[in-house]
Each structure stands twice: as C-alpha cells, then as structure tokens.
Structure 1
Amino acid sequence: MTHDAEWTLEDTCRHAVLCWLATVDAAGQPSVSPKEIWHRDGDSFCIADIASAGSIRAIRVNPRVCVSLIDVFRERGHKLMGAAEIVESGAPEFAARAAPLRDLAGPDFPIRNVIVLRIERAVPIIAPSWRIFPERDADEHVRRSLETYGVRPR
C-alpha cells in the first residue's frame, strides 16, 4: 500500500479504533470529542451518543461536522465532512441505526441517541512520513509506528 489511492475509506473504517467528532457550538467555539462506538453505513457514518451531551447540543445548533479517523499504526485515515442529524431513541429509524452500535457497545453502555453524519466529502489523511520516505512500504510504516509507540503485535 504505497500509494494514496490504494488506501480506501473501507480500509480506514476496518482499522481505526477511535474517531474524533468536531463540532461548533452556539458561540462559535469549536470542540473535538473522541468517540469509540461508531459504524459506517453506506453514505452515512453513525456515532453512538453514550455520553455526548456537548456534541448533541452543538449539532442541534450547527449540524455541520467533521469526523477524523486514523489508523495510528498505518499512519493513514480519512476526514469525513457533512451535515449531522440526531436520531433520538423514540424515532422510527432509531432501532435500525442503533443495532450495529449496540453490537459494538455491548450491554454496559446505553445508547441515548445516534448521531448520523451524511458523508458529503471524504478526504484521505496521510502522515508526512509517507511523502518524506516514499520508498517505505506499508509494512515498514507499521513496524516503525509500533516501535515508536512501544507496542508489540499480538
């Protein structure tokens, strides 16, 4: 995987663990919040609202959001931009939207709402090392990242 075009949004969703949701509140103050229970559903990206009161408030005021997902070991990811909506627990589509998130969250984390981002634009994110060291392949990037973070594969 030495070329940008070879790393897809599907790859990012398969390998990223966390995502970061960027919102702007009523006062224009930006905020970035980590989210660990998420699911891509076609042209939508769904995030579980487990403890996201600030994100929910901001989206109600300004639905324009950005989500970043990165595989820290492969040093690649995507930035997703678009409009978000809040699917509340009483909404007809809540059960279908929440089902894959509940599978990830398990019984210990109740899902209050589902944040649904309609993906209008997906932009690749790539670490500068891919451009600085173009001769490195994906395995070399992973090896160096594991070394940098002091992590060993299972």
Structure 2
Amino acid sequence: MKRISQEVETIIKKAKLCFVATVNPDGSPNLSPKASLDVWDEYHVIFAHIESFNTVENIKINPKIAINVVDFFRRKGFCLEGKATLFQQGTPEHDFVGKPLWENHGSQYLVHCAVKVKVESVKSLKSPAYKYDEKVTEDTLATYFSNYYNNEL
C-alpha cells in the first residue's frame, strides 16, 4: 500500500476532475471522468458513484483501478493505482462523498455508493515541457495555460 503524499493530496484538491480507468468484461478499457475524488486517509482515495454504472459493474468483476489526476494548468499530476471497494448508503464512506456534493449542488444528486480505493502505487505524471525547455516552470506553464483556456471560453 502506498502512502498519499501532501503533494498528491494538493493536486487532488486543486484539479477538481480526474479520470478513472477500469477494465470491461471483454478486456477493453473503460475511462470515466469524476469530479468527486477526495482523500479518505493517507492510504485511500474515494469518489462518488453518481452515474458510473459501467465503472461500478467493472469493479464488481475486477477491483483493479487506475486514477489519473492532473493539474492541467501546471501540466503535472499523478496516476494512482489500486483496488476499489464499494460502500453503500448508511456507511461513513457514503456520507463522506455525498455531503459535499449535496452542499454544493443540491440533494437531487443520488449517490448510489462510494468507491474507496486502496492506493498501491503512485506514479508521477509531467509534461515533456519540463524536460525539453529549461525555461519552463510550474508558474510559466500555469500562466500560459490559464491565458490559453480563458481565451477559449
């Protein structure tokens, strides 16, 4: 089991969006965006199953999961790999993911269950810009992409 560092937690909190990969029964990939990822403790992350029916069905068959979370302005992040467990209504895990969702977006959102992942590995993800351009820093990339995306809105 891999400990979740402060740097990983910071990116999870800032990114607001991640992508969860599971394996379909036929072996093909299933990739699903999630906006509810949070840190449960130093060894687990957790997210809400709102409309993640394929993801949850895949977890029931094969609990292996990968989550990419990236600060897309700074072009860096992490891939978390581990095994997922489902928690139904009435559990602390369900309440943990449901409460902020309902407070921020309303009680009309149904959380079918919470998906808690025991993190077994953490891999760093970084843009090649960090390697190939010696002038690149987190701040220069953040400024560039903030301007880029604001111009696209």
After TM superposition, the score normalised by the length of structure 1 is: 0.83
* Residues 1:35 and 2:64 are matched in the alignment: no
* Residues 1:142 and 2:152 are matched in the alignment: no
> CA-to-partner distance for each residue in 1:25-57, whole Å, 9 max, x for gaps?
222111101011121111111110001111010
Taking the TM superposition and a 5 Å limit, the aligned residue runs for 1:1-154 are 8-42=7-41, 43-91=43-91, 94-96=94-96, 98-100=98-100, 102-103=102-103, 105-151=105-151
For residues 150 and 95 of structure 1, the distance between their equivalents in structure 2, rounded to whole angstroms, comes to: 35
For residues 69 and 79 of structure 2, the distance between their equivalents in structure 1, rounded to whole angstroms, comes to: 7
After TM superposition, the score normalised by the length of structure 2 is: 0.84
For residues 151 and 118 of structure 2, the distance between their equivalents in structure 1, rounded to whole angstroms, comes to: 35
Question: What's the CA shift for 1:94?
Answer: 3.5
> CA-to-partner distance for each residue in 1:80-118, whole Å, 9 max, x for gaps?
000001112255754356445544554231211001111
For residues 19 and 130 of structure 1, the distance between their equivalents in structure 2, rounded to whole angstroms, comes to: 22
> CA-to-partner distance for each residue in 1:69-90, whole Å, 9 max, x for gaps?
0111011111000000111225
- Alignment RMSD (CA, Å): 2.2
Corresponding residue for 1:3? none
Gap regions ≥5 residues in structure 1: 1-6
Identity rate of aligned residues, in percent?
Answer: 24
For residues 146 and 77 of structure 2, the distance between their equivalents in structure 1, rounded to whole angstroms, comes to: 17
Q: Decide whether the 8 Å contact of 1:24 with 1:62 is kept in 2.
A: yes
Instruction: Give the secondary-structure state (helix, strand or coil) at the position aligned to 1:8.
Output: helix
AA in 1 matched with 2:144: R
Task: Give the paired residue count.
Answer: 146
Q: Decide whether the 8 Å contact of 1:18 with 1:34 is kept in 2.
A: yes
